[in-house]
Chains A and B, each alone.
Chain A
């Protein structure tokens, strides 16, 4: 059962990946809310109403797998990320509850909840960037790694905003659709620039990662990653600048292309880390829990995850298509 830690490392990576591509869009929409008028706000929030809760559960699963399989990493990572975790949680709490309060509170309080919803989304996204950046830097606190962390702290919200636009392009039509196009056109350049800079900076600031990236022959095998990312990025630009594609409701391609970019980043990150779970500090095998614990967890995971997948697809099918009405009111 030597491969169990590997299995769980992959499962954890997968859960966090799902988190980023799913909760990413609803966090992004949260950050876009201030730029919309009241009616559009309602519609935008309706597009994520049925999904956000399950989306957020993916991070709980990621942490859950870490608890199940890598208790040592759980304490090492979360103790040293104490502050950003606390900040992220404050953000997630604010936005999660504002969601419900905003439609139930008095009308004159609605504005307050809208604002809290956006601020919470922004705080949570930035804190996640901070966590991710510091994690890639092996939880170190040199000035170089702080700088890198800061860059990711700014970049992740941009990525989420872009995903939010992509989701709106998929779920809406009319005014909101065209607004999303506008927002996406603004966000797309900073996104590309940021991705590029981070790709260049990563091997510069981390020797461990540099050693892995520029080792032959692996380096050749890695080439498809930046290539595919560039193609996906090109696709985004292509769609956003083609009137006919946008008119023909092909905006959803933006979201799909972003997923592709995230997959590539995920593979790259996984390769950079392996076999460590905390870079330079702890390998997957050192962090693993006991064999019995893992075995028990393994059965649960292989049975439950496909089921989760199946009913997630079912839910997305039930709520497929353009969101038009305010579907939030439970009695509508």
Chain B
């Protein structure tokens, strides 16, 4: 079988970034949640918050480590897989990536040491500040990388000279039109992912009767956080969509499955996009709703894919990914409000609720990946929207070389993912260990004081 090296390079890039993003998503959100646990402990002196912190900080360390090493792959990949990208867009991409290293990576990596191992070496305040710095660092790295990614979606502040992109104004580049929406959407997505992760794991522990103190508190924190954030996320997502309609109408046409420009376009809930026949088979539609949502007018005209010949992305993956993301968003809303309602009424969770929450443990991951697929596949055939085509930037490695490394990555990532989840499971079933350690420590401390 012959493989096209371009396709292979794309698959490899997509695989690596998809694997990478799973872990930052958790690091970004979990760090703020850990900060919250620490603060609650300082405020209430309730030891349960401290237990919660100790349990989750270990998971944080593990997640962070995988995030770091898979991230290093990313920074090499621009050169190995997309040399044309760095040559043509390097003036923009280089400094933004560089700033991420300078302002975020060192900060995170250095203060992480104090956050993890420094508890007995620095004062409580320094430890707290270190945790805060790590949290700020992860969010800062999201800031820079999303700035670059948004610029690739909605480029601004540049001039083209001899086929190379040059700088006109850094502020316009960094704060490009889609950046605020993307940053907000992604940061909330991280927090949501983490809320369901902590709620799900805690529910699982509670249901299997292996939980230590604090588990229920953590579960409730997750539920309440999710109940607050999900509606915000849906609102932000909607704004994001409107922004995309303005800048990338072809993407929206693919998301909505609008093949031909029409007035009063219906909203397609489900269906099977059929690219050859230019229509959506078996579609379930709600009349006029797409026009209403996207243009706030039931008779507004929406541009169809027919207006973007050779300029629009493959429809089916964008269409489907979008429905997966929004579907999970709706599910999150239902589950978090259902459970939050129980908490507000000060009732105990039913068995069903525990099961529901633990089933949702990794729902955030699925939504995040689906969201990125909408964004990234929806940008095709361009790498930098309207400026650079993906096919112009690819490296010409022998297909065999790329295939070999690709297979290597697939095996490695599958192994790591399985290990990660297995370890999470193992740690969740062993509450006793963390308890013992804490008791020992408490003893040590009293001995020291005596």
Contacts and interface: CB of A to CB of B under 8 A. Distances in A.
B66 interface: yes
Given A64-B102, A92-B72, A332-B441, A296 B62 contact: no
B99 A318 contact: no
A128 to B, nearest CB: 12
Contact of B91 (A104, A293, A319): A293
Contacts of B314: none
Contact of A67 (B75, B84, B114, B409): B75
Interface stretch (A71-79, A134-142, A178-186, A187-195): A71-79
Given A53-B112, A53-B113, A332 B120 contact: yes
A64 B101 contact: yes
Nearest to B173: A296
Contact of A75 (B62, B79, B120): B79
B79 A86 contact: no
A300 interface: yes
B102 A290 contact: no
B49 interface: no
Contacts of B57: 330-331
A71 B72 contact: no
Contacts of B58: 104, 330
Contacts of B71: 60
Given A311-B111, A318-B121, A67 B106 contact: no
B386 interface: no
Interface string A56-77: 1101110111011101101111
B418 to A, nearest CB: 11
Contact of A297 (B98, B112, B166, B434): B98
B86 A93 contact: no
B437 interface: yes
Contacts of A64: 75, 97-98, 100-102
A54 B113 contact: yes
A85 B416 contact: no
B79 A79 contact: yes
B441 A300 contact: no
A328 B117 contact: yes
Contacts of B69: 92-93, 96-97
A220 interface: no
Contact of A93 (B90, B112, B412): B412
Nearest to B106: A308
Contact of A82 (B80, B105, B427): B80
Nearest to A120: B69
A85 B76 contact: yes
B445 to A, nearest CB: 11
Contacts of A89: 72-73, 76
Interface string B146-188: 0000000000000000001011001000000000000000000
A77 to B, nearest CB: 7
Contacts of B76: 63, 78, 85, 89
A86 B405 contact: yes
Interface string A105-135: 1100000000000000000000000000000
Contacts of B94: 67-69, 71, 74, 289, 293, 297
Interface in B381-427: 395, 397, 401, 405, 408-409, 412, 416, 419, 422-423, 426-427
Contact of A71 (B66, B73, B87, B111): B87
A50 B412 CA distance: 25
A125 B13 CA distance: 24
Given A53-B68, A76-B83, A100 B395 contact: no
A172 B71 CA distance: 32
A327 interface: yes
A252 interface: no
Contacts of A50: 113-114, 116-118
A93 B416 CA distance: 10
A237 B31 CA distance: 47
A300 B98 contact: yes
Nearest to A82: B80
Contact of B83 (A65, A68, A79): A79
Contacts of A104: 58, 62, 423, 426-427
A289 B91 contact: yes
A163 to B, nearest CB: 19
Contacts of A74: 78-79, 83, 86, 90, 94
B217 interface: no
A82 B400 CA distance: 12
B46 interface: no
A315 interface: yes
Nearest to A77: B79
Contacts of A175: none
B441 A311 contact: no
A233 interface: no
A89 B184 CA distance: 31
A45 to B, nearest CB: 12
B119 interface: yes
B109 interface: yes
A293 B167 contact: yes
Contacts of A101: 62, 419, 423
Given A71-B87, A74-B90, A99 B105 contact: no
Nearest to A301: B102
A69 B79 CA distance: 13
B126 to A, nearest CB: 8
A78 B93 CA distance: 16
Interface in A313-332: 315, 318-319, 327-332
Q: Which of B101, B114, B416, B419 is most buried by chain A, counting CB atoms within 10 A of its CB?
A: B101
Contacts of A301: 98, 102
28 contacts: A54-B110, A56-B68, A60-B75, A64-B75, A64-B100, A65-B98, A68-B94, A72-B87, A78-B83, A79-B83, A81-B80, A85-B76, A90-B408, A93-B72, A96-B66, A97-B416, A104-B426, A105-B422, A105-B426, A293-B90, A297-B99, A308-B106, A312-B110, A315-B114, A318-B118, A318-B121, A330-B119, A332-B119
Interface of A: 49-51, 53-54, 56-57, 59-61, 63-65, 67-69, 71-72, 74-79, 81-83, 85-86, 89-90, 92-94, 96-97, 99-101, 104-106, 289-290, 292-293, 296-297, 300-301, 304-305, 308, 311-312, 315, 318-319, 327-332
Kindly list the 5 A-B residue pairs having the minimum CB-CB distance in the complex, ordered from nearest. Answer: A71-B90, A78-B79, A75-B83, A68-B98, A50-B113
